[in-house]
């Protein structure tokens, strides 16, 4: 069995979700010889400030060497990567790797994915699991190969999704158990105990749900759906990137409203779908086909997120508006 210090690891990741896994490797005494992350992003009004990724910030804090390639097939990057002489590469929330990168180490490359593969392959697995009203999800480590999220599964861990959980809550749960799964997977590799399972064996006779990247239009609320589906959609996008809708009044004045938290009220009614009911003090209900969606936490463009009572203090006559189809 190889000791922890004997297996040279290169870690690849970018957002906060990946930091927990890198931290677990460092604190666990594993031999992380380098980190690959995204280039710094221009921020601010004129793009004059460069923002480092969360992974870079952590890597710098513990003195790890860092590479930030623009292109993963760039020969200078590949030379620098080879110079680290990695035995194993670990990918957590990074980007699609070319074979020249994932095939480089002797022990290959494995990926931590935030779903129970083969379900929810794609860029936004946590969001889509909540949007679709799943009762459980999890994390998977798998061997990186051709195709997105299709390699053989090494190990999985499950968690429950509670009806009140939003995607932020689920994200944080998966971030922590994912970090544990990463170190457990490294241990299996160094102990030569990996028994990887083909995803094809798990996907027979079941419907697979994809997890495509989210765009602004993806996050627009469809008020034709049921109250439960709308409730799940909103919590599946909260706190980020946030579900939104347009409200419009009889004069044609319209504004965008982001919605972060709701309740579903499954009460029969005769109101027109999309109409808004309110006492202009404490509640806003939007009529849908099988009840109402009660807004709890919302945000106007250019304003702070606030509870509905605070919103109504400065916005009277909300009932003159309706949601735009």
Q: What is the pLDDT of residue 23?
A: 98
Beta strands in the chain (DSSP E): 8-13, 31-36, 41-43, 49-51, 66-67, 88-92, 109-113, 136-143, 153-160, 243-249, 254-265, 276-278, 284-288, 291-300, 306-307, 321-323
Cα(171)–Cα(127) distance, integer angstroms: 9
Cα(286)–Cα(298) distance, integer angstroms: 13
Look up tokens 């959980």; give the residue.
165
Q: How far is CA 215 from the centre of its chain?
A: 13
Q: Which residues of the chain are under the pLDDT cut of 50?
A: none
State phi, psi for 168 to the nearest 5 degrees.
-65, -40
Q: What is the pLDDT of residue 147?
A: 86
DSSP 100: H
Contact at 8 Å (CB) between 40 and 52?
yes
Judged by DSSP in three states, 64 sits in coil
Q: What is the pLDDT of residue 242?
A: 98
Look up tokens 């009762």; give the residue.
135
Query: What is the edge-to-edge ordering of all strands in the sheet holding 153-160?
Result: 66-67, 31-36, 8-13, 88-92, 109-113, 136-143, 153-160
Q: What is the pLDDT of residue 316?
A: 80
């Amino acid at each position: 069995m190889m000791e922890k210090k004997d297996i040279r690891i290169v870690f690849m990741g970018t957002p906060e979700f990946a930091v927990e896994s890198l931290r677990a490797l460092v604190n666990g005494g594993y031999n992380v010889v380098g980190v690959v992350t995204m280039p710094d992003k221009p921020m601010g009004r004129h793009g004059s400030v460069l923002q480092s990724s969360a992974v870079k910030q952590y890597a710098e804090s513990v003195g790890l060497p860092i590479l930030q390639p623009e292109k993963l097939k760039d020969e200078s990057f590949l030379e620098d990567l080879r110079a680290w002489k990695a035995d194993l590469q670990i990918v957590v929330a990074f980007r699609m790797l070319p074979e020249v990168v994932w095939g480089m180490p002797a022990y290959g490359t494995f990926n931590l994915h935030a779903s129970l593969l083969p379900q929810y392959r794609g860029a936004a697995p946590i969001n889509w699991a909540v949007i679709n009203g799943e009762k459980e999800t999890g994390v998977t480590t798998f061997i990186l190969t051709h195709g997105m999220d299709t390699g053989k599964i090494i190990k999985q861990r499950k968690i429950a999704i509670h009806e009140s959980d939003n995607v932020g809550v689920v994200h944080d749960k998966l971030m922590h158990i994912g970090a544990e799964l990463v170190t457990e997977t490294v241990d299996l590799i160094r102990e030569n105990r990996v028994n990887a399972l083909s995803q094809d064996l798990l996907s027979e006779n079941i419907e697979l749900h994809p997890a495509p990247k989210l765009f602004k239009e993806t996050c627009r609320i469809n008020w034709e759906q049921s109250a439960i589906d709308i409730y799940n959609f909103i919590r599946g996008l909260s706190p980020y990137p946030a579900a939104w809708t347009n409200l419009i009044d009889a004069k044609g004045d319209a504004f965008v409203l982001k919605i972060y938290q709701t309740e579903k009220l499954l009460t029969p009614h005769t109101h027109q779908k999309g109409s808004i009911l309110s006492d202009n003090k404490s509640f806003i209900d939007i009529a849908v086909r099988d009840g109402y969606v009660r807004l709890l936490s919302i945000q106007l463009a250019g304003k702070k997120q606030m509870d509905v009572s605070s919103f109504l203090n400065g916005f009277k006559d909300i009932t003159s508006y309706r949601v735009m189809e």
